[in-house]
Structure 1
Amino acid sequence: MSKLRRLDQLLGSLGYGTRREAQGMVADGLVTVKGVVAERADVRVASEDVLVKGQPLEAAEGLLAILHKPLDFVCTRSDGEGATIYELLPAQWSDRKPAVTSVGRLDRDTSGLLLVTDRGDLVQRWTSPKSEVEKVYEVTVEKPLDASLVEVFASGTVMLRGEEKPCLPAQLELVDDLHARLTLMEGRYHQVRRMFASQGWKVTALHRSRFGEYSLEDVAVGEWRLLDVGAR
């Protein structure tokens, strides 16, 4: 059983509106608690006992979702930077408290798998260097790849411009002359592009196909899929 919270505060934190709007929903008879129409908005309730318009509360114990990020979308809410990933998510998620955010970032020119969550502990778990979460990227380059890159990337000696520590060993699989699959255990700024650039190759297309245990199976470009956060 979840902890007890004021009904209007609970609804507000999950994006169902301001506290006043939540109070209005209760007054209009749209909220039930244990199957009974709620009469007061200040009553303390467990989230699993609450229905809004006959539906359970969405991700009441924390939200976690996979998003298939398209190209030309940015992982920020700042105005003036173009389309953002948050435009692809339900509007209600933008009103959740804590705010929904991405786990790490993909730049405008990179597509693929993003995790989004309102759980700070999950963000910390998957972005901490100690977590060693595998991330898999599908890479396209502008000139034929050299087989020697496999050993170079696995050596743990690749240095990025402006940094003092080499990259951790990475697994590179050559798919064909211009395509490769790279598995990383860290997430430095523009790391994939910079690793290839350090060896003389320019990345022309980049897609993240896996993040830890998660893949984009059955998630179309621009779409999202809610995950179970209960045991995490």
Structure 2
Amino acid sequence: MILSNPNPLKNIHKINLEDFKHNKKIPKIIEHSILVALSHYPELKDTPIAFVFKKNIKKSIMQAQPVIGSLLGGKDCRAYQVNISSMFKLTHTATPIHQLPDSIMIGWIGHELGHIMDYESKSTFGIIAFGLGYLFFENSLKKAEVIADTYALKHGLGAYILDTKRYILDNSDLPEAYKKRISRLYLSPDDIVEQIKKLEEAKLKLEINH
């Protein structure tokens, strides 16, 4: 079961991460974390995605969004950008984002790739409507974040997502306002554990039936 694995990175050497570089723009300093996260999303293997460092992202550490110009064509023309704050801001200090533990980065990036999976399921009009809801209605924002978390869990990133949530919520150096926002809008650690259990039970049942 995924929760019993204290080191979710231990089996990653069996995967050829180089296969997941196609159509991707990745900063070298966080390449490994990004490729591990991408390896859980084979559906995105050929999807153009640029991972870009930003000095400041309002209310967020990372942010996945479609490249606006790519929405003018069909779904096959779509491209995406994942903005990544170059600094992880604490209450009194800040640390370079690439210095975070690998598993935390993988969980965070895995969540953002969940957003891209959600975008991929929508029409252009659906993405526009989604964007408006995300900006102006908290219920829509919460729904989007839960969907992204759920995609990540279903793609085998449960241990990473759980590590990331606990890292944020248990970090005494993070601003309380940010932690409250995470608690309010995202799946809680308990919710994540419950979903992982259900996914593992469903997988086991399927294996028994076959």
Give TM-score, length-normalised by structure 2.
0.22
Structure number with the higher strand fraction is 1
Give TM-score, length-normalised by structure 1.
0.21
